[in-house]
């Protein structure tokens, strides 16, 4: 017996379908199309073939952005893969007040990247908290230019990203830890494995799928980073404009009434191919591994 | 004046440029209209000003409009004012939605972009007395070589401003400098900055901003190539100037934050008394008296260094206006001599754009107050001031210039590389 | 720290009745060593110490900002010694924020966007998720594949085209223009689908036999059972809309239409360089969302435990 009229699914899905078409499918196609034109905001443009990509290839800002992205990934991925796992283990046990801690750890995640960046910008200022602490403790003697040195600024943005992400990935791990069977731990304990050893031989393999997923998510996030650098470094990318991310370049190119939508789209397409790499990697790993993430 | 470049979205130029696919077609037909001025005026128009609706100017405008309506019964003027920020974007969206106000206050760069789309009326054709009634330097700001080879004029000069240098005489005296003998050239400035730096143990600063386009122009470099189509300011004198700034920065004559995004502008630093020099409009002292009354008595004005920049504001008429006779008449009315003189009374330190009173001796006499002195200096500066920024220079190009200058001044690039990079990238943007 | 097992989380899922430290005898574990994982005093101290350290790291910066926002003008905010507690706490900075930027207006704009976002997602994603999970029809597999494929596209890649679409609809520089694209997010559709898939089929089949049509089944059978995921989606949608920066930055131009995130960045850049004022502004953006989360955190973590995130 039919459970529904033939048109019911389509009717119920209509809103979502409209959104899918208008705001997911069409923009994806249009971005590619735009990338081959020199359309400017408020006016038109025409087809110019691969010129935008040629410009992209020679754009020194893109080079800076890619380097920044690589550094971002290199540091964020290991940190945000392991630290949240430790955090999840920390809050796993049902000690008194754990709900309070758990909620508090999640606070940085809820705050907007902009708010968080403003707070950190204040702390990283030449006369701010970090410099004061470091100087009071005698670790450094001159102010550390967290926000004006090209590399320190990048590292600051990375620190901020890691800090903000801890809670989020902790939650993911909490879900995954649920499936690590207790018996394995017990067996290992009986075999004489200590805490640390059990961590490496039971816990980590048990959440392997999640770990891989998380690494990929972080890598993708690093490529898409925007708010942190925008606020810490200023809209133009720090002194000399070298602390830019790829998304910042998209936003800069498209902004203002002379926005170069065609070029911005080309950068977007470039970004897509970059992010596809870790995602394809994940897909392959998922196919190979038996565990579900 | 805050060291933001005079650039607005000339971007509008690139965007509103027609001829390439989708977009409004530039039609000089509209600009070339001749307005019938014989019939009696009637109907209503919209009059848009930029950031002028405030306690100081609102009574002036209200009276202005009331007087006009009394003289021309049956007419109505709808006055709207746009906030200071985002004006270029606002105007471009007005152009693209065909809702440009009939009489509109535009600076030369935005006027250039709008004129290129054919949306501004050629005033030369419609006002025979244009070139005698208005100051030449003001008019030339609204005359563009790349539109009809410069045969058209798109704005009535309304008020002219320039930069005056202001010095903090207490700070200077403290470090062994004499505020009555301030630097006259850039080299003087560096020399006196050194004195201030050495005598204050590096705490006080005389120099307060990084170089920009006007500094490049002041080295005698031509910003554009001979045919006016490309940028060509990566010359040896410009590099030498940038080298001097780099050396000064390294030696600590400039506050370290002039290059990063916490830089608040030289006039803010001046009010905070972190630096002893700033540039500003002719009326800085008046505003200081309001915001920072303890500082105002310590300020000494002097002529701008080297050649002063000229800032022009004007009124343009929309070529697609539905009531051209009224729009034109009103624009001429607002910018006539009598009304401009009254306007300038409210904005000391500026000059009227009307020829009759621009050389009125009253502006060259100080009333003895420091503001009066500053106004006189502004007046003198304006006789020789030059509008440095080419209309094709956009915000995006200015950002590149600032970034490259920052790299040069922090030693990451040579001055030559910085200027070459800027010119190359700016030229690339022209063709994009 | 002692590496615990899944014991506690499993307990929470199966038997919420028993709470407390790990030495609970789980009836399922017959005959196993009862003292494995028993908390030692040593272990507990370490654990709490670690918890407190992480707590400080997590909320420390926010506390510091709060403290700055309460410091009076007379106090130097750039002192050599760290002063956590203000000497003369004042709410004056909050007043100054209101004078400098129309912060309540911005907050209202953000709230409007967030509420519309939640409403749209709850309705649209639930409907579509249910259909994809429980109704068989031709083309379902293909449609599902299309939905999934949109996930590999980061939002930033299509932001330019979305911008073009919004401006060509005439919605540039409008609140509606900000809300529209994310009102039904594809990821939420898939999350709801996952949630519906987890429901036992029997109840639904019984409803079919009873003659309930699709909408009735969704309303009476499906919805009550996916409350956890619904709340997770709502919370994420609200937070996402409240915190969004890039998109409103691109779309909005008029100073009175800005959302809180964009308005605050202006506070940082142009208006004021007084760290106290900026701190106050930051707190005004942060505290509402934190408060909201505090109130709803129970539902949120419950929804997470139900496996909403697993999908």
Tens-place pLDDT, residues B41-79? 888 999 999 888 777 788 899 999 999 999 999 999 999
* Closest chain C residue to A196, measured at CA: C3
Q: Does B291 touch chain C (CB under 8 A)?
A: no
Are C273 and B262 a contacting pair at CB < 8 A? yes
Distance of residue A61 Cα from the nearest chain B Cα, in angstroms: 10
Report pLDDT for B104: 95
Lowest mean pLDDT among B21-30, B234-243, C75-84: B21-30
Distance, in Å, from the CA atom of B347 to the CA atom of B341, rounded to the nearest integer, reads: 10
Closest CA to A144 of B245, A155, B208: A155
Report pLDDT for C23: 37
The full length of chain C comes to 311
Distance of residue C276 Cα from the nearest chain B Cα, in angstroms: 15
- Burial bucket for residue A6 (CB in 10 Å: 0-12, 13-18, 19+): exposed
Q: Does B86 touch chain C (CB under 8 A)?
A: yes
Task: Quickly state the pLDDT bin for B245 (edges 50, 70, 90).
Answer: very high
Task: Quickly state the pLDDT bin for C124 (edges 50, 70, 90).
Answer: very high
- Burial bucket for residue C266 (CB in 10 Å: 0-12, 13-18, 19+): middle
Report pLDDT for B96: 66
Which pair of tokens denotes residue A3? Answer: 């459970």
Q: Does C269 touch chain B (CB under 8 A)?
A: yes
Distance, in Å, from the CA atom of B375 to the CA atom of B381, rounded to the nearest integer, reads: 10
Distance, in Å, from the CA atom of B263 to the CA atom of C269, rounded to the nearest integer, reads: 9
Report pLDDT for B12: 30
Higher pLDDT, A20 or A285: A20
Are A147 and B96 a contacting pair at CB < 8 A? no
Higher pLDDT, A111 or B23: A111
Report pLDDT for A68: 94
- Burial bucket for residue B268 (CB in 10 Å: 0-12, 13-18, 19+): middle
Distance, in Å, from the CA atom of C186 to the CA atom of C188, rounded to the nearest integer, reads: 5
User: What phi-psi label fits residue A256: left (phi over 0), alpha (psi between -120 and 50 degrees) or beta?
Assistant: left
Distance, in Å, from the CA atom of B43 to the CA atom of B339, rounded to the nearest integer, reads: 22
Are A256 and B16 a contacting pair at CB < 8 A? no
Report pLDDT for C307: 60
Interface list for C 141-170 with A (CB within 8 A)? 143, 146-147, 150, 152-165
Cβ–Cβ < 8 Å for A95, C48: yes
* Closest chain B residue to A231, measured at CA: B261
E-strand spans in B223-318? 277-280, 299-302, 310-317
| A17: chain C residues, CB-CB within 8 Å | 128
pLDDT at A255 over 80: no
Report pLDDT for B20: 25
| C269: chain B residues, CB-CB within 8 Å | 261
Report pLDDT for B23: 35
Are B264 and C273 a contacting pair at CB < 8 A? yes
Average pLDDT over residues A99-128: 86
Tokens 């997602």 appear where? C121
Task: Quickly state the pLDDT bin for C80 (edges 50, 70, 90).
Answer: low
Higher pLDDT, C38 or A31: A31
b/e per residue B244-265 (b: at least 16 CB within 10 A): bbbebbeeebbbbbbbbbbbbb
Average pLDDT over residues B319-345: 91
Distance, in Å, from the CA atom of B223 to the CA atom of B389, rounded to the nearest integer, reads: 9
Distance of residue C250 Cα from the nearest chain B Cα, in angstroms: 12
| B256: chain A residues, CB-CB within 8 Å | 148
| B81: chain C residues, CB-CB within 8 Å | none
Q: Is the ipTM of this complex over 0.90?
A: no
Report CA C191 to chain centroid distance, whole Å.
14
Are C173 and B93 a contacting pair at CB < 8 A? yes
Contacts of A137 (CB under 8 A, 6+ apart): none
Q: What is the DSSP letter of B228?
A: S
State pTM to two decimals. Answer: 0.76
Among partner residues C163, C243, C297, which is closest to A112 by beta-carbon distance? C243
pLDDT at C3 over 50: no
Which chains have at least 3 CB atom pairs separated by less than 8 Å from chain C? A, B
Task: Quickly state the pLDDT bin for B214 (edges 50, 70, 90).
Answer: confident
User: What is the per-residue pLDDT across C47-75, written as a single tens digit (0 to 9) for each?
Assistant: 888 889 999 999 989 998 888 888 887 77
pLDDT at C260 over 50: yes
Q: Does C35 touch chain A (CB under 8 A)?
A: no
User: Which of C3, C130, C166, C305 should we substitute to test contact with A (largest number of A Cβ atoms within 10 Å)?
Assistant: C3
Among partner residues B85, B93, B268, which is closest to C255 by beta-carbon distance? B85
* Closest chain A residue to C204, measured at CA: A3
Which pair of tokens denotes residue B373? Answer: 């002195």
| A46: chain B residues, CB-CB within 8 Å | 20-21
Cβ–Cβ < 8 Å for A65, A249: yes
Cβ–Cβ < 8 Å for B31, B153: no
Average pLDDT over residues B396-415: 89
The full length of chain B comes to 432
Q: Please compute, for residue A193, the number of CA atoms within 13 A of its CA located in the half-sphere on the CB side.
A: 18
* Alpha helices (runs of H) in chain A, residue ranges in sequence order: 8-19, 26-34, 51-58, 60-92, 98-110, 113-124, 129-136, 150-177, 182-190, 195-198, 204-206, 208-224, 227-233, 246-254, 261-288
User: What phi-psi label fits residue A238: left (phi over 0), alpha (psi between -120 and 50 degrees) or beta?
Assistant: left
Cβ–Cβ < 8 Å for B394, B429: yes
Contacts of A273 (CB under 8 A, 6+ apart): none
Distance, in Å, from the CA atom of A200 to the CA atom of A195, rounded to the nearest integer, reads: 9
Closest CA to C181 of C88, C117, C125, C227: C117
Report pLDDT for A2: 61
Which chains have at least 3 CB atom pairs separated by less than 8 Å from chain A? B, C
Chains A and B form CB pairs within 8 A to the count of: 104
* Alpha helices (runs of H) in A178-207, residue ranges in sequence order: 182-190, 195-198, 204-206
Report pLDDT for B22: 33
Q: Does B10 touch chain A (CB under 8 A)?
A: yes
Report pLDDT for A118: 86
Higher pLDDT, C221 or B9: C221
Q: How many CB atoms lie within 10 A of CB C53?
A: 11
Cβ–Cβ < 8 Å for B335, B158: yes
Which pair of tokens denotes residue C204? Answer: 């639904």
Strand partners, B82: B50
| B12: chain A residues, CB-CB within 8 Å | 42, 257-258
Lowest mean pLDDT among A203-207, A223-227, B107-111, B168-172: A203-207
For chain B, helix (H) and strand (E) counts, in that order, are 20, 9
């Amino acid at each position: 017996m039919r459970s529904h009229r033939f048109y019911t699914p389509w009717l119920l899905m209509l809103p979502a379908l409209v959104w899918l078409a208008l705001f997911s499918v069409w923009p994806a196609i249009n971005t590619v199309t735009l990338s081959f034109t020199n359309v400017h905001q408020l006016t038109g443009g025409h087809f110019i073939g691969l010129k935008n990509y040629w410009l992209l290839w020679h754009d020194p800002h893109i080079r800076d952005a890619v380097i920044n992205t690589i550094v971002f990934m290199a540091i964020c991925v290991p940190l945000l893969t392991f630290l949240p796992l430790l955090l999840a283990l920390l809050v796993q046990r049902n000690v008194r007040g754990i709900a309070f801690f758990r909620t508090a750890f999640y606070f940085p995640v809820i705050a907007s990247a902009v708010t968080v960046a403003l707070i950190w910008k204040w702390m990283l200022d030449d006369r701010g908290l970090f410099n004061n602490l470091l100087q009071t403790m005698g670790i450094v003697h001159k102010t550390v230019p967290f926000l004006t040195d090209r590399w320190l600024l990048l590292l600051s943005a990375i620190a901020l990203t890691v800090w903000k992400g801890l809670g989020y990935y902790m939650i993911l791990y909490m879900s995954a830890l649920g499936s690590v069977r207790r018996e394995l731990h017990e067996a290992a304990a009986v075999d004489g494995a200590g805490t640390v050893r059990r961590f490496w031989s039971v816990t980590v393999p048990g959440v392997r799928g999640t770990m891989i997923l998380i690494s990929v998510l972080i890598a993708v996030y690093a490529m898409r980073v925007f708010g942190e650098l925008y606020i810490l470094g200023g809209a133009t990318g720090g002194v000399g404009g070298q602390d830019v991310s790829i998304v910042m370049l998209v936003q800069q190119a498209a902004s203002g009434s002379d926005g170069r939508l065609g070029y911005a789209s080309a950068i977007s397409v470039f970004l897509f191919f970059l992010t596809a790499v870790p995602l394809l990697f994940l897909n392959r790993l998922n196919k190979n591994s038996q565990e579900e993430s | 004046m805050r060291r933001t470049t005079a650039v607005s979205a000339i971007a509008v130029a690139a965007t509103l440029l027609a001829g390439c696919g989708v977009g409004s077609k530039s039609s000089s037909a509209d600009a070339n209209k001749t307005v019938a001025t014989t019939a009696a005026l009637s109907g209503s128009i919209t009059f848009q000003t930029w950031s002028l609706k405030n306690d100081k100017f609102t009574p002036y405008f209200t009276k202005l409009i009331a007087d006009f309506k009394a003289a021309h019964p049956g007419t109505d003027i709808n006055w709207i004012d746009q906030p200071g920020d985002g004006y270029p974007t606002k105007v471009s969206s007005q152009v693209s939605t065909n809702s440009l106000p009939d009489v509109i206050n535009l600076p030369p760069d935005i006027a250039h972009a709008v004129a290129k789309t054919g949306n501004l009326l050629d005033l030369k054709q419609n006002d025979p007395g244009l070139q005698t009634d208005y100051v030449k330097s003001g008019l030339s700001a609204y005359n563009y070589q790349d539109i009809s080879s410069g045969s058209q004029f798109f704005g009535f000069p309304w008020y002219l401003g320039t930069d005056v240098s202001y010095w903090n005489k207490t700070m200077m005296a403290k470090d062994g400098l004499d505020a009555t003998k301030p630097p006259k050239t850039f080299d003087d400035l560096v020399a006196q900055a050194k004195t201030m730096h050495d005598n204050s143990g590096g705490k006080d600063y005389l120099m307060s901003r990084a170089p920009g386009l006007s500094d490049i122009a002041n080295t005698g470099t031509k910003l554009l190539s001979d045919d006016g189509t490309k940028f060509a300011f990566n010359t040896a004198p410009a590099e030498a100037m940038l080298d001097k700034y780099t050396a000064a920065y390294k030696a600590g004559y400039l506050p370290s934050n002039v290059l990063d995004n916490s830089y608040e502008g030289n006039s803010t630093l001046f009010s905070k008394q972190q630096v002893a020099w700033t540039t500003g409009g002719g009326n800085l002292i008046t505003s200081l008296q309001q915001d920072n009354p303890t500082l105002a008595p310590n300020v000494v004005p002097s002529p701008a260094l080297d050649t002063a920049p000229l800032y022009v504001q004007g009124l343009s008429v929309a070529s697609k206006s539905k009531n051209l006779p009224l729009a034109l008449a009103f624009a001429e009315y607002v910018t006539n001599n009598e009304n401009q003189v009254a306007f300038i009374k409210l904005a000391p330190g500026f000059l009227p754009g009307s020829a009759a009173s621009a050389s009125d001796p009253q502006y060259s006499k100080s009333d003895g107050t420091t503001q009066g002195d500053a106004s006189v200096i502004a007046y003198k500066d304006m006789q020789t001031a030059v509008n440095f920024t080419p209309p094709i220079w956009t915000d995006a190009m200015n950002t590149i210039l600032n970034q490259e200058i920052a790299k040069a001044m922090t030693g990451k690039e040579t001055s030559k590389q910085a200027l070459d990079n800027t010119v190359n990238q700016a030229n690339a943007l022209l063709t994009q | 720290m002692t590496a615990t097992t899944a014991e506690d989380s499993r307990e929470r899922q199966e038997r919420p009745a028993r709470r407390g430290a790990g030495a609970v005898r789980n009836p399922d574990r017959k005959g196993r060593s009862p003292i494995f994982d028993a908390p030692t005093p040593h272990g507990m101290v370490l654990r709490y110490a670690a918890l407190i350290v992480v707590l400080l790291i997590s909320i420390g910066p926010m506390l510091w900002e709060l403290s700055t926002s309460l410091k009076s003008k007379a106090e130097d905010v750039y002192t050599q010694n760290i002063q956590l507690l203000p000497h003369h706490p004042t709410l004056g900075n909050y007043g100054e924020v209101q004078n400098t930027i129309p912060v309540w207006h911005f907050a209202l704009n953000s709230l409007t966007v967030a509420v519309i976002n939640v409403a749209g997602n709850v309705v649209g994603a639930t409907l579509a998720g249910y259909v994809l999970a429980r109704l068989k029809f031709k083309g379902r597999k293909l449609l599902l594949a299309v939905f999934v494929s949109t996930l590999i596209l980061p939002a930033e890649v299509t932001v330019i085209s979305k911008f073009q679409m919004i401006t060509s609809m005439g919605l540039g520089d409008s609140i509606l223009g900000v809300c529209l694209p994310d009102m039904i997010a594809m990821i939420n559709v898939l999350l709801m689908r996952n949630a519906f898939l987890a429901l036992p089929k029997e109840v639904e089949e019984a409803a079919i036999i009873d003659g309930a049509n699709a909408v009735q089944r969704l309303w009476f059978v499906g919805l009550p059972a996916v409350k956890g995921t619904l709340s997770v989606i709502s919370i994420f949608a609200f937070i996402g809309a409240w915190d969004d920066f890039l998109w409103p930055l691109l779309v909005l131009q008029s100073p009175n239409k800005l959302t809180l995130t964009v308005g605050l960045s202006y506070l940082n850049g142009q208006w004021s360089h007084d760290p106290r004022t900026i701190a106050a502004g930051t707190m005004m953006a942060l505290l509402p969302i934190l408060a909201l989360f505090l109130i709803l955190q129970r539902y949120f973590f419950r929804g997470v435990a139900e496996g909403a995130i697993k999908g």
